[in-house]
Amino acid sequence: MKETITSLNNAKVKELVRFRQKNGKTAENEILIEDEREILRAIDAGIRFIEVYICEELIGTAGKDTLKEVLSLSGSVFHLTRQVFEKTAYKSDPFGIIIRAEFPAKKLSDISEKEDFILVAERIEKPGNLGALIRTADGAGIDTIILCDKITDYRNPNTIRASTGTIFSKNIVEAASSEAIKYLKSNGFQIVSADPYGNKVYYEADLSKKTAVVVGSEAFGLSEEMKKSADVLVSIPMKGVADSLNVNQAATIILYEALRQRNR
């Protein structure tokens, strides 16, 4: 199906804007993708496209190959005028393609029995931080990220952008902290939680075994439940006046120490 949209009052355009403004909460299993890098990574990950909205004037010559690939993966294509597209897009300098795609969160029961290195992010409140965490996890070789007691939505456009599209190759699992703890304990994971007052420096912990690294939000830190469930509470030495790092910086240090130990 193809259709040209010239009005901001079009029902499809209103639906896209509403979806964006509510960070995807209008459609639980769907996500919006609209930057070339993220689109290409979604294609590589085999994400199913539902609808494609394009403005060829914005795409230009450089994006023709990407457009061709996108069009081959979706039967529902809507052509938007430049004015309508720019009003609809999340970015101020849009690439010229918006994709509504299927990307549901998974359940704890979907995690592979082969997994032995997992990131758990509890109550992360900023979309950019969550996206950066996903990108860091990707770099450290983690395939599964468990989001506990979520505050921000993984479908937020800023999360997708900050992840640079690596989110599409990850298993994103949503669960309550209590459920995640029960799953990790029953499946033999060592729970290593980052805390400014942890009793062991991060590099002193044995991260080469089956491990779940847990980080909490900068505003709230880890829940008491998560702290008490930890097999190891690790800290990062701080020599200045600040007592902690940005959550992604902290996760990067610990995850890459784990990667170093695992590659020995």
CATH of the domain at 71: 3.30.1330.30
What's residue 160's pLDDT?
Answer: 94
Domain coverage including residue 69: 2-102
> Bridge partners of 100?
32, 51
Nearest-CA neighbor of 209 among 227, 191, 193, 185? 191
Does 121 lie in the same domain as 65?
Answer: no
Tell me how many degrees the CA angle 221-260-217 measures, rounded to the nearest 5.
Answer: 10
**Based on the structure, what is the number of domains in the chain?**
2
Does 128 lie in the same domain as 96?
Answer: no
What's residue 22's pLDDT?
Answer: 64
DSSP state at residue 212: E
- CA 33 to CA 100: how far, in whole Å? 7
The count of C-alpha atoms lying within 13 angstroms of the C-alpha of 8, restricted to the half-sphere facing its C-beta, is: 10
Does 157 lie in the same domain as 257?
Answer: yes
- CA 70 to CA 64: how far, in whole Å? 10
Domain end, chosen from 79, 102, 125, is at 102
- CA 130 to CA 262: how far, in whole Å? 24
Whether 12 contacts 78, CB under 8 Å: yes
Nearest-CA neighbor of 134 among 87, 169, 100, 103? 169
Q: How many CB atoms lie within 10 A of CB 231?
A: 15
What's residue 1's pLDDT?
Answer: 53
Does 123 lie in the same domain as 98?
Answer: no
CB neighbours of 11 closer than 8 A, spacing ≥ 6? Answer: none
Low-confidence ranges of the chain (pLDDT < 70): 1-2, 22-27
DSSP state at residue 110: G
Does 248 lie in the same domain as 120?
Answer: yes
> Bridge partners of 78?
3, 53
